[in-house]
């Protein structure tokens, strides 16, 4: 059996993790700033395709991780900390799913001529709130990773390919 301090995620798990960081950063970089930009048919189609692809990859990642990977948290990790880690991870997945789902709904509503009103404003609010919440979860996730780096419990090394821990 693998020692807790040497547990590592698979290459595919790491590729999903670091790939999503790049994909999310790209999505932020190329984001639509104003709803009226969606009047450009090519941009609207690209946004819908990007959101659909992002959602597909997210669902694929979630299924892969649930079926093939286990947490790298040591068995001695307090239950409250394990619970908090699950909340953050599931919260991140939820937000990362709501962002493209709400984006697709915004695009579809716009496509069908619903460019103002309660419905599209509500979906835009969900979209914006999901972004705000994901930033909160990302800060917690990175802070926890750094915390584990200094604990030298192997969690950092299980996913991060740089600034390696020297395990005891």
What mean pLDDT comes out for the span 99-109? 98
Q: Pick the residue with more confidence: 113 or 161?
A: 113
Confidence band, pLDDT 50/70/90 cuts, at residue 3: very low
Tens-place pLDDT, residues 78-92? 999 999 999 999 999
pTM above 0.95, yes or no: no
Average pLDDT on 120-141 reads: 98
In a domain, 31, yes or no: yes
Residue 127 resides in a domain: yes
The string of pLDDT tens digits covering residues 15-65 is 999 999 999 999 999 999 999 999 999 999 999 999 999 999 999 999 999
Tally of domains in the chain: 1
Please report the pLDDT score of residue 66 as a whole number.
96
Which 3-state string (H, E, C) describes the chain?
CCCHHHCCCCHHHHHHHHHHHHHHHHHHHCCCCCHHHHHCHHHHHHHHHHHHHHHHHHHHHHHHHHHHCCCCCCCCCCHHHHHHHHHHHHHHHHHHHHHHHHHHHHHHHHHCCCCCCHHHHHHHHHHHHHHHHHHHHHHHHHHHHHHHHHHCCCHHHHHCCCCCCCCC
pLDDT score at 168: 60
Considering the domain boundaries, does residue 39 fall inside one? yes
Q: What is the pLDDT of residue 162?
A: 80
At residue 163, the pLDDT reads: 76
Question: Is 82 among the domain residues?
Answer: yes
User: 111 lies in a domain?
Assistant: yes
Whether 119 is in a domain gets the answer yes
pLDDT value of residue 35 = 94
164 within domain boundaries: no
Residue 167: inside a domain: no
Mean pLDDT of all residues in 61-71: 96
Q: Answer whether residue 2 shows pLDDT above 50.
A: no
pLDDT above 70 covers a percentage of the chain that reads 95
Domain hosting residue 41, numbered range: 4-159
């Amino acid at each position: 059996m693998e020692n807790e301090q040497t547990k590592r995620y698979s290459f595919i798990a790491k590729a999903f993790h670091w790939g999503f960081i790049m994909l999310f950063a790209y999505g932020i970089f190329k984001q639509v700033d104003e709803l009226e930009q969606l009047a450009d048919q090519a941009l609207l189609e690209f946004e819908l395709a990007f959101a659909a692809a992002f959602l597909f990859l997210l669902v694929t990642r979630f299924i892969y991780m649930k079926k093939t990977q286990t947490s790298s948290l040591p068995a001695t990790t307090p239950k409250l900390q394990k619970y908090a880690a699950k909340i953050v991870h599931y919260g991140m997945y939820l937000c990362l799913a709501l962002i493209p789902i709400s984006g697709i709904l915004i695009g579809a509503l716009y496509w069908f001529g619903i460019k103002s009103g309660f419905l599209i404003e509500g979906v835009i609010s969900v979209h914006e709130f999901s972004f705000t919440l994901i930033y909160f979860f990302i800060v917690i996730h990175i802070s926890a990773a750094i915390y584990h780096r200094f604990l030298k419990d192997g969690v950092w090394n299980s996913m991060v390919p740089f600034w390696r821990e020297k395990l005891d």
